[in-house]
């Protein structure tokens, strides 16, 4: 009789006996807790297999447990998101949801009634390929996600939904106002080597089915070689083992192997593992699957290929053994950064590195004597091999440089929308001047309790306090759980600041962000020195946020001296323009040429970008509207001093960095190293080129290089004296 174990690469038809590991993930999914509601990972790396296995093995109507698995890819694309309720009604038996039910309210009522009649009952709906649904429902203000979350909470999660998708599902989880944000941590379907149990399961996946087929390995090390070569991904192991078994015992193999229930096992030699007639085909299939993960985000591919380039250039030790610190790795990747994508700062870049670590592409090494600081490297030599030869790497980097940016949610670039006043229509909501990632930094326990935001009013500095206050009232901050409380208070004067700190009482579950904006350097320095000594601040019950105008040379210098506490406002990039166009559902304007025209016309100034896009939507010729756009926003009259103007003109011309630096020195007696922090604090530069270390103008900086087009304000408040 044929043994039921056989390797397969069909996620929908994986036999129960061929599923190995993921016990912790399964436990979270079927538990009546907040955990396990989101499952994410790369393409074809095990999400669908996991959901299918859970429904096949734990669905038990006799015990009152109903688990259904379905693909909802059309929802949010060709079908409305509200159809998810009809899908729920369609998969549940009539005894739970009566026939003819269509709407969320009546379907929810039936589910609650059934669970009340069956106190130990459980209903779990597993929704695969949920990316379109979640993206569209996010744009719609979480209409359906909010209803689903409410139903889960009303039933104490006896009714539970689980959404599976690509990396964007995990990114959406981090949105502060998402109904699913307050649920447990997402499950990443990564390599099967994070725990001892995982490693044991991976070993069994290689050995047990082969034993059932009559084969064994001559050396135990052979199993480790296979797992390392397949990066410990179960789906890649299945792919490899299926090909190996086919070669050893398949039609036309020419080898007299026979299955035997009680006879000796045929021993597979180590030199047969990666050197047989079918290996090239297996290798191509596995490499294709691996690259599907890199293709999720062009920046993923850029980071991986940058490390591969370093190996090809002879820096194997740093790229494969010791790892590179984020700032060094970013400088290596910068020359190939996608042309239409804004280069990130170091904290934002670290987010990408951590995502690649979760997905099993990168490894990391803890930096001695630090907390939560790592160097990053390619996870294994086998991962490096999958990236190809030197020629493959060069071609890939050139291709990545011309790749379009992503319009999917990314907290590194995304500014969240919020109602500026109660009951405001979503179409009228404002965008926060800080990215979601920047807001997250304000409350992270490992960060300094006192934080600084520095920037220009034209980039949204005057909206920082009001936006954070509204965010605290209508949503919450990244990193704050549902049980935690956070409030924002804006302080008008120095005396009010002292009075509020003095009267505050410490609270374990309540954090107050106290916002103060000094207008001159002496006041700023005194208040910072005083606040950092207060017990409420040291205990992090009060987290001061100091707002500093980058138009004032002394204040921006203070922010530059405290870089570990400071964040700087930046203009919108192409990614944020795509987010806004997606919100407006005007993707017909979302192409490289029009995005560049918008940046050229506005410099990425948030208010100007939004006004211009509104004009382009109403215009018969959007490109002409952008070409003729006149900016109405204004800068402080003394902001563009002689040194900054000279630097702008020189950077706009471009050329060898040494020549540009010498030109600036001859004109101003300053060099780019000393003026660089000022250019960064004002949002004028976005980074530095690795090839010559020269500064790169941001869209705002390029616009200011033609600053005669930008009106200057007579209001000199906060400007340099």
Radius of gyration of the chain (CA): 28
CATH of the domain at 104: 3.40.50.300
Residue 177 has pLDDT above 70, yes or no: no
Domain assignment present for 439: yes
β partners of residue 511:
486
DSSP 149-201: HHHHHHTTTSEEEEEEESHHHHHHHT-TT-GGGGS-PPEE---TTSSHHHHHH
DSSP 500-541: HHHH----SSEEEEEEE--SSHHHHHHHHHHHTT-HHHHTTS
Q: What is the pLDDT of residue 371?
A: 77
Based on the fold, state whether residues 336 and 275 are members of the same structural domain.
Answer: no
Confidence label for 168 from pLDDT (cuts 50, 70 and 90):
low
Based on the fold, state whether residues 329 and 272 are members of the same structural domain.
Answer: no
d(CA 505, CA 542) in angstroms, rounded, equals 9
d(CA 557, CA 419) in angstroms, rounded, equals 33
Based on the fold, state whether residues 534 and 460 are members of the same structural domain.
Answer: yes
Q: How far is CA 60 from the centre of its chain?
A: 37
CATH of the domain at 676: 1.10.10
Domain assignment present for 609: no
Confidence label for 5 from pLDDT (cuts 50, 70 and 90):
low
Residue 483 has pLDDT above 70, yes or no: no
297 vs 483: which has the higher pLDDT:
297
Q: What is the pLDDT of residue 280?
A: 79
Mean pLDDT of 484-497: 86
Lowest mean pLDDT among 21-25, 82-86, 526-530: 21-25
Mean pLDDT of 55-71: 94
Strands in 592-650 per DSSP E: 635-636
Residue 256 has pLDDT above 50, yes or no: no
Mean pLDDT of 525-547: 93
Nearest to 681 by CA among 553, 576, 565: 553
Based on the fold, state whether residues 38 and 140 are members of the same structural domain.
Answer: yes
10 vs 455: which has the higher pLDDT:
455
β partners of residue 67:
124
Mean pLDDT of 470-474: 83
CATH of the domain at 361: 1.10.10.10
List the structure tokens of 557: 């210098």
Burial state string for 388-409 with b = 16 or more CB within 10 A and e = fewer than 16: beeeebeebbeebbebbbbbbb
Q: What is the pLDDT of residue 242?
A: 84
List the structure tokens of 46: 């095990």
Q: What is the pLDDT of residue 260?
A: 52
List the structure tokens of 444: 């992270």
Based on the fold, state whether residues 444 and 549 are members of the same structural domain.
Answer: yes
Report the domain count for the chain.
Answer: 5
Q: Which residues contact 509 (CB under 8 A, 6 or more apart)?
A: 483, 484, 485
Residue with tokens 């792919």: 239
φ/ψ region of 460 (left if φ > 0, alpha if ψ in -120 to 50, else beta) reads left
SS3 content of the chain, % helix, strand, coil (to 5): 50, 15, 40
Residue 182 has pLDDT above 90, yes or no: no
φ and ψ at residue 64, rounded to 5 degrees: 80, 20
Based on the fold, state whether residues 160 and 42 are members of the same structural domain.
Answer: yes
Q: What is the pLDDT of residue 707?
A: 63
By percentage, how much of the chain surpasses pLDDT 90? Answer: 43
- The angle subtended at Cα 251 by Cα 247 and Cα 256, nearest 5°, is 80
Nearest to 243 by CA among 214, 192, 200, 286: 286
d(CA 489, CA 392) in angstroms, rounded, equals 54
Q: Report whether 453 contacts 555 (CB < 8 A).
A: no
Confidence label for 684 from pLDDT (cuts 50, 70 and 90):
very high
Q: For strands 187-188 and 159-165, give the pairing.
A: unpaired
Q: Report whether 397 contacts 305 (CB < 8 A).
A: yes
Lowest mean pLDDT among 62-71, 261-270, 363-372, 633-642: 261-270
d(CA 494, CA 277) in angstroms, rounded, equals 78
Domain assignment present for 382: yes
DSSP 378-424: ES-HHHHHHT--HHHHHHHHHHHHTPPPP-S--TTTPPPEE-SSTT-
Mean pLDDT of 426-452: 88
Based on the fold, state whether residues 127 and 176 are members of the same structural domain.
Answer: yes
Domain assignment present for 482: yes
- State whether residue 216 is helix, strand or coil: strand
Range of the domain at 476: 434-568
Based on the fold, state whether residues 364 and 479 are members of the same structural domain.
Answer: no
d(CA 642, CA 638) in angstroms, rounded, equals 10
Based on the fold, state whether residues 544 and 439 are members of the same structural domain.
Answer: yes
Confidence label for 6 from pLDDT (cuts 50, 70 and 90):
low
Q: Report whether 269 contacts 218 (CB < 8 A).
A: yes
- Answer with the one of 150, 168, 188 that is the final residue of a domain: 188
CATH of the domain at 209: 1.10.8
List the structure tokens of 630: 């006149």
Domain assignment present for 104: yes
Q: What is the pLDDT of residue 662?
A: 92
Confidence label for 345 from pLDDT (cuts 50, 70 and 90):
confident
Based on the fold, state whether residues 150 and 52 are members of the same structural domain.
Answer: yes
Q: Which residues contact 421 (CB under 8 A, 6 or more apart)?
A: none
Nearest to 403 by CA among 310, 299, 329: 299
Q: What is the pLDDT of residue 691?
A: 66
Mean pLDDT of 222-250: 82
C-alpha distances (whole Å) from 506 to each of 98, 221, 496, 500, 529 are 52, 57, 18, 12, 20
* Model pLDDT for residues 258-269, shown as the tens digit of each residue: 455 555 678 887
Neighbours of 676 (CB within 10 A): 16
125 vs 184: which has the higher pLDDT:
125
- Answer with the one of 287, 306, 325 that is the final residue of a domain: 287
CATH of the domain at 470: 3.40.50
Residue with tokens 């009649």: 117
Nearest to 205 by CA among 241, 179, 174, 180: 241
Lowest mean pLDDT among 432-446, 503-517, 545-559: 503-517
Q: What is the pLDDT of residue 337?
A: 87
Q: What is the pLDDT of residue 156?
A: 93
Confidence label for 174 from pLDDT (cuts 50, 70 and 90):
low
* Model pLDDT for residues 647-667, shown as the tens digit of each residue: 988 998 878 888 899 999 999
Q: What is the pLDDT of residue 257?
A: 45
* Model pLDDT for residues 14-36, shown as the tens digit of each residue: 777 778 888 888 999 999 887 88
C-alpha distances (whole Å) from 210 to each of 120, 519, 541 are 41, 73, 59
d(CA 277, CA 254) in angstroms, rounded, equals 12
Confidence label for 251 from pLDDT (cuts 50, 70 and 90):
very low
Q: What is the pLDDT of residue 528?
A: 96
* Model pLDDT for residues 700-714, shown as the tens digit of each residue: 999 988 765 555 554
Domain assignment present for 582: no
Domain assignment present for 519: yes
Q: Report whether 567 contacts 451 (CB < 8 A).
A: yes
Burial state string for 438-453 with b = 16 or more CB within 10 A and e = fewer than 16: bbbbbbeeebbbbbbb
Lowest mean pLDDT among 90-104, 206-220, 523-537: 206-220
Domain assignment present for 469: yes
Lowest mean pLDDT among 31-45, 219-233, 270-284: 270-284
Q: Report whether 104 contacts 137 (CB < 8 A).
A: no
User: What is the average pLDDT value for the chain, to the nearest integer?
Assistant: 85
719 vs 566: which has the higher pLDDT:
566
Q: What is the pLDDT of residue 235?
A: 81
* Model pLDDT for residues 599-650, shown as the tens digit of each residue: 999 999 999 999 999 999 999 999 999 999 999 888 776 777 888 889 988 9
Nearest to 268 by CA among 208, 219, 203, 202: 219
Based on the fold, state whether residues 41 and 164 are members of the same structural domain.
Answer: yes
β partners of residue 229:
none
- Answer with the one of 223, 256, 287 that is the final residue of a domain: 287
Taken in order 145, 147, 153, 159, the sign of the CA dihedral is negative
Name the H helices within 657-717.
657-668, 672-681, 699-704
Residue with tokens 């490289």: 592
Q: What is the pLDDT of residue 711?
A: 55
Based on the fold, state whether residues 169 and 223 are members of the same structural domain.
Answer: no
Residue 671 has pLDDT above 50, yes or no: yes
d(CA 388, CA 318) in angstroms, rounded, equals 19
703 vs 179: which has the higher pLDDT:
703
d(CA 486, CA 513) in angstroms, rounded, equals 7
Neighbours of 708 (CB within 10 A): 6
């Amino acid at each position: 009789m044929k043994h039921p174990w056989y390797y397969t690469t069909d996620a929908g038809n994986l036999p129960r006996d061929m599923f190995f590991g993921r016990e912790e993930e399964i436990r979270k999914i079927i538990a009546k807790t907040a955990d396990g509601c989101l499952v994410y990972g790369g393409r074809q790396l095990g999400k669908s297999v996991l959901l299918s296995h859970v429904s096949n093995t734990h669905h038990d109507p006799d015990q009152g447990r109903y688990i259904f698995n379905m693909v909802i890819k059309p929802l949010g694309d060709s079908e409305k998101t509200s159809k998810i309720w009809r899908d729920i009604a369609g998969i549940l038996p009539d005894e739970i949801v009566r026939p003819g039910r269509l709407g969320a309210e009546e379907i929810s009522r039936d589910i609650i009634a059934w669970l009340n009649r069956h106190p130990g009952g459980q209903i779990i709906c597993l929704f695969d390929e949920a990316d379109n649904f979640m993206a569209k429902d996010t744009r719609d203000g979480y209409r359906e996600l909010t209803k689903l979350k409410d139903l889960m909470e009303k039933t104490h999660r006896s009714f539970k939904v689980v959404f599976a998708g690509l990396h964007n599902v995990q990114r959406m989880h981090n949105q502060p106002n998402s109904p699913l944000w307050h649920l447990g941590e997402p499950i990443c379907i990564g390599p099967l080597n994070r725990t001892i149990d995982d490693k044991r399961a991976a070993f069994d996946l290689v050995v047990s089915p082969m034993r059932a087929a009559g084969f064994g390995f001559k050396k135990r090390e052979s199993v480790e070689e296979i797992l390392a070569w397949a990066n410990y991904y179960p789906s890649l192991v299945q792919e490899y083992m299926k090909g190996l078994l086919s070669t050893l015992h398949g039609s036309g193999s020419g080898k007299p192997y026979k299955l035997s229930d009680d006879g000796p096992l045929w021993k597979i030699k180590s030199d047969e593992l990666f050197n047989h007639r079918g290996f090239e085909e297996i290798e191509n299939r596995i490499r294709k699957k691996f690259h599907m993960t890199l293709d999720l985000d062009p920046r993923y591919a850029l980071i991986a290929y940058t490390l591969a380039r370093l190996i090809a250039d002879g820096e194997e030790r740093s790229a494969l053994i010791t790892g590179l610190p984020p700032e060094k790795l970013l400088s290596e990747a910068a020359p190939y950064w996608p042309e239409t994508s804004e280069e990130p700062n170091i904290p934002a870049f670290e987010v990408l590195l951590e995502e690649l670590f979760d997905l099993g592409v990168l490894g990391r090494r803890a930096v001695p004597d630090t907390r939560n600081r790592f160097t990053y490297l390619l996870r294994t030599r086998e991962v490096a091999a999958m990236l190809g030869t030197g020629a493959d790497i060069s071609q890939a980097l050139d291709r990545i440089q011309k790749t379009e940016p992503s319009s999917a949610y990314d907290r590194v670039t995304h500014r969240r929308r919020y109602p500026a006043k109660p009951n405001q229509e979503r179409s009228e909501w404002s965008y926060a001047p800080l990215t979601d990632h920047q807001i997250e930094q304000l409350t992270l326990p490992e960060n300094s309790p006192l934080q600084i935001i520095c920037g220009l009013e034209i980039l949204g500095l005057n909206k920082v306090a009001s936006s954070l206050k509204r965010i605290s009232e209508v949503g919450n901050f990244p990193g704050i759980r549902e049980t935690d409380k956070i409030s924002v208070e804006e302080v008008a004067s120095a005396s009010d600041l002292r009075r509020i700190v003095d009267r505050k009482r410490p609270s374990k579950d309540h954090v107050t962000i106290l916002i103060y904006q000094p207008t001159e350097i002496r006041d700023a320095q005194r208040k910072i020195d005083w606040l950092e000594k207060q017990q409420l601040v040291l205990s992090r019950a009060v987290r001061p946020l100091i707002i500093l105008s980058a138009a004032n040379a002394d204040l921006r210098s203070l922010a530059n001296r405290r870089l570990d506490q400071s964040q700087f406002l930046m203009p919108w990039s192409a990614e944020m323009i795509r987010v806004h166009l997606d919100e407006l559902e005007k993707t017909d304007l979302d192409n490289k040429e029009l995005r560049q025209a918008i940046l050229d016309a506005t410099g990425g100034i948030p208010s100007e970008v939004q006004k211009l896009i509104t004009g382009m939507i109403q215009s018969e010729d959007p490109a002409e509207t952008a070409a003729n756009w006149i900016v109405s926003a204004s800068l402080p009259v003394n902001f563009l001093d002689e040194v900054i103007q000279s630097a702008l003109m020189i950077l706009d011309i471009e050329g060898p960095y040494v020549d540009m630096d010498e030109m600036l020195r001859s004109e101003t007696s300053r060099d780019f190293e000393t003026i660089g922090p000022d250019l960064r604090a004002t949002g004028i530069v976005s980074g530095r080129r690795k090839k010559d270390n020269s500064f790169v103008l941001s869209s705002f900086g390029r616009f200011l290089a033609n600053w005669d087009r930008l009106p200057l304000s007579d209001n000199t408040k906060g400007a340099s004296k």
